[in-house]
Amino acid sequence: MNTDHSYARQLDEADQLRDFRHEFYIDKKKIYFDGNSLGLLSKRAEASVTSLLNSWKDYAIDGWTEGENPWFYLSEKLGAMSAPLIGAKPEETIVTGSTTTNLHQLTASFYKPEGNRTKILADELNFPSDIYALKSQLQLHGLHPDEHLVQVKSKDGHTLDTSEIIEAMTDDIALIVLPGVLYRSGQVLDMEALTKAAQERGIPIGFDLCHSIGSVPHQLSAWGTDFAFWCTYKHLNGGPGSVAGLYVNEKHFGNEPGLSGWFSSLKEKQFDMEHTLTPAHDAGAYQIGTPHILSAAPLLGSLEMIGEAGIGRIREKSLSLTDYMLELIDSRLKDQKLKVANPREEKERGGHVLLEHPQAAAICKALKSKGVIPDFRTPNGIRLAPVALYNTFEEVWKTVDILKTILDDESYKNYQNERE
């Protein structure tokens, strides 16, 4: 392959999404490759926050129903803007709550243990918060997690085998919750095949899309996936603690949510103040409390920008960036003790690269000292996420070049090999 610096610049010149980089606040002294943990601030997101602050200033209580973006309907509007990213209908998607709160809501709604069917199927590589939530839901039913939470094992500690997940869909499974993309290795699970297998066995299935939404296209409605949930501060660039989202397939509309609150209500009935809930006829029924308006505000600008770029083009560039990074690592770092631990096949690779090294924590500190912002994962993982909307091929080249220098001169040994 062409490893010249000039070739990276040629790739940037041909990049159809290159102008979106100018929409973000970029520190030109740094290379930010941690967008799969927290996306950068865009000028549009900043303007959206200012706009909603002004609506509070200008309208006070009337901001709920007046202005450009009335707060009473903001969650639905943002849900509709999110829907194309997951292949859903607008009414199937809502922006509300936090990732774990939404998982609690969806588990309370879809987990119906009965007879022999009492177990929840998950995996051993999922993000801990999901497992905490599932265990607590089992305990609320008086069931012990050691007996009733089934976690599919990984052969290599990085990836999951689709056939083994399907084999674990036994007659005693009442609910399946899996990640769309594994947070550590970036493996994209075959959500279509898993949904089909779950449907054939009559088991409701849902996916955590935190590491896939905004980076990997989905077709949840077409697949018939029962539910999904996600955060919005990674590839959606909604800011720290920005409001999360959830999806519920329309075939479940009309069912009362497991956890109810006044924003679960049909909007036309909400201010009747009746003590009997009339749930919304769409995904809005799965809201609980009052929307966090100022924490949702950045998404107006961010989702608008992502919609203009198109999830198809974002995915295409994301794969090109990680392909290029992997090729440079293979050609320039082949004599080092680095191990590429993410899937190589494009259909199985999400938006980041996972490298493993015995001195990973020290290497991450050395990279930061050189202006590269990676993400360390215990015990030996280095995650590098070149994000399609604001990272460049030249930044990929520079990062691999800096990494090579750090490894060649062993300057990482100047740092303690432990998490900050």
Q: Binding-site residues for pyridoxal 5'-phosphate, please?
A: 99-100, 127-130, 208, 211, 233, 262, 290
> In which band, very low, low, confident or very high, does the pLDDT at 420 lie, cut at 50, 70 and 90?
confident
Tell me: do 380 and 362 sit in the same domain. Answer: yes
Reported as a single tens digit per residue, the pLDDT across 161-203 is: 999 999 999 999 999 999 999 999 999 999 999 999 999 999 9
CATH for 145 = 3.40.640.10
Q: Is residue 370 part of a domain?
A: yes
Q: Do residues 196 and 237 share a domain?
A: yes
Residue 129 lies in a domain: yes
Residue 337 counted as domain residue: yes
| Residues 80 and 93 grouped into a single domain | yes
Catalytically annotated residues: 127, 208, 233-234, 383
Residue 210 lies in a domain: yes
Please give the residue range of the domain that contains residue 119.
Answer: 47-308
Q: Residue 327: how many CB atoms within 10 A of its CB?
A: 15
Q: What is the pLDDT of residues 60-85, one digit of tens each?
A: 999 999 999 999 999 999 999 999 99
The pLDDT score that the predictor gives to residue 419 is 86
Q: Are residues 336 and 281 in the same domain?
A: no
> Are 354 and 398 in the same domain?
yes
Residues 132 and 272 in one domain: yes
The answer to whether the CB of 243 falls within 8 A of the CB of 97 is yes
Does residue 43 register a pLDDT over 80?
Answer: yes
What is the side-by-side order of every strand in the sheet holding 119-123?
Answer: 93-95, 245-248, 227-230, 205-208, 173-179, 119-123, 149-152
Q: What is the pTM of this model?
A: 0.96
pLDDT band at 374 (very low <50, low <70, confident <90, very high): very high
State the Cα–Cα distance between residues 227 and 246, nearest whole angstrom.
7
- Binding residue numbers: 99-100, 127-130, 208, 211, 233, 262, 290
Size (the chain), residues: 420
Same domain as 61, residue 25: no
207 - beta bridge partners? Answer: 178, 228
Residues 298, 386, single domain; the answer is no
Going by C-beta distance under 8 Å and a sequence separation of 6 or more, which residues neighbour residue 80? 90, 93
Render pLDDT for 222-231 as a digit per residue (tens, 0 to 9): 999 999 999 9
CATH number at residue 406: 3.90.1150.10
Q: Is residue 37 part of a domain?
A: no
Number of structural domains the chain divides into: 2
**231 shares its domain with 330:** no
Identify whether residues 28 and 96 lie together within a single domain.
Answer: no
Q: 420 lies in a domain? A: no
